[in-house]
Amino acid sequence: MRLVFAGTPAVAVPTLRLLADRHEIVAVVTRPDAPLGRKRVLTPSPVAAVAAELGLNIIKAARLDAEATERIAALEPELGVIVAYGGLVREPLLSTPERGWINLHFSLLPAWRGAAPVQRALIAGDAELGASVFQLVEELDAGDVYASRAFDVPADATADAALEALAAAGAPLTAEVVDTIAGGTAHAQPQVGAVTLAPKLSLEDGLLEFTRPLEEVYARFRGVTGEPGAHTSIDGARLKILEASPADDVEPLAPGAIAGTKNSVLIGTATVPLSVTRVQPAGKPAMAAADWWRGRREGESTVVGS
């Protein structure tokens, strides 16, 4: 079929590559180049980079407005496929492709509708993640579902690792749905069950509260790693926590209290300490947590959140 594909981050790339092998991609819609790195160099999105590699027509648009709609309509696509584009598809663009749009969403709909389904699921302690391909409608992530697949969550999986795995698994799921639509055998079912929402995470969502039990602290750490990132504060300065895991066979510590070991730093919670192995202090590069702790000056705080 003649497809228009919309996506921006790396998680959309596996689906784009697979569809480009099996169908005609008349255009790839992605967000404009963004400043990255310390020097703020304008850089194409991961989807734009791959589309250029594949020699595909690229439409860079911050919003799917009238201009973008006109450019897409001129290409007469039969179906639109969207994976994490970063913007809403509204009428008249929603009805511009002959068969509308389908969306690969990284949740078991109707659970976790919204921008951060994997992150919110991990924070909530879900033991199962999933991917769903559904018909895009104007209501947020509410369309009928063509296919979905559940996956068990490894106990130590962070959001970035889980998203990478789901992106790989979601690509063939989406391609199968596109093939059935092309063959006239596709069938979508209305969503059934309780609706939960997954709004975009803010920087504040990454704050670890060590007065909570370890299970909750670690769930939040996993859910916000890599974006927006886990953090706490010490002596009023932000400390990013890059790598951590539940501590084994150690004595409890008071919530927020820190104890150094040979290879890590232990931070007390309401139950078992969190073992932190890599951190990034404010204004400094990432480093081993044990090195950071050994390098602190006498008299500095030994309690996070202070």
Same domain, 74 and 209: no
CB burial string 56-80: b at 16+ within 10 A, e below: bebbbbeebeeebbeebeebebbbb
Same domain, 207 and 281: yes
The pLDDT value recorded for residue 299 is 66
Q: Specify the CATH number for the domain of residue 50.
A: 3.40.50.170
140 domain residue, yes or no: yes
Per-residue pLDDT of the chain (306 residues; tens, 9 = 90+): 999 999 999 999 999 999 999 999 999 999 998 888 777 888 999 999 999 999 999 999 999 999 999 999 999 999 999 999 988 899 999 999 999 999 999 999 999 999 999 999 999 999 899 999 999 999 999 999 999 999 988 889 999 999 999 999 999 999 999 999 999 999 999 999 999 999 999 999 999 999 999 999 999 999 999 999 999 999 889 999 999 999 988 888 999 999 988 889 999 999 999 999 999 999 899 999 999 998 887 667 788 876
Domain that holds residue 286: 203-294
Same domain, 233 and 157: no
The pLDDT value recorded for residue 153 is 84
Same domain, 152 and 215: no
- pLDDT tens for each residue of 228-279: 999 999 988 999 999 999 998 888 899 999 998 888 999 999 999 999 999 9
The pLDDT value recorded for residue 34 is 87
Q: Specify the CATH number for the domain of residue 221.
A: 3.10.25.10
The pLDDT value recorded for residue 290 is 94
State the Rg of the chain over Cα. Answer: 22
Same domain, 51 and 105: yes
The pLDDT value recorded for residue 35 is 85
Same domain, 169 and 227: no
Same domain, 152 and 240: no
Q: Which residue type is seen at 162? A: A
301 domain residue, yes or no: no
Same domain, 161 and 19: yes
197 domain residue, yes or no: no
70 domain residue, yes or no: yes
Same domain, 78 and 171: yes
**SS3 labels along 110-142:** CCCECCCHHHHHHHCCCCEEEEEEEECCCCCCC
244 Cβ contact list (under 8 Å, min separation 6): 218, 221, 230, 274, 275, 276, 277
Same domain, 148 and 224: no
188 domain residue, yes or no: no
The pLDDT value recorded for residue 306 is 65
> What DSSP state is assigned to residue 18?
H
105 Cβ contact list (under 8 Å, min separation 6): 113, 117, 131, 132, 133, 134, 141
Same domain, 174 and 225: no
278 domain residue, yes or no: yes
305 domain residue, yes or no: no
DSSP calls for 151-220 = EEPPTT--HHHHHHHHHHHHHHHHHHHHHHHHHT----B---S---B-PPP-GGGGB--TTS-HHHHHHH
For the chain, the domain total comes to 2
> What DSSP state is assigned to residue 297?
P
Q: Which residue type is seen at 247? A: A
304 domain residue, yes or no: no
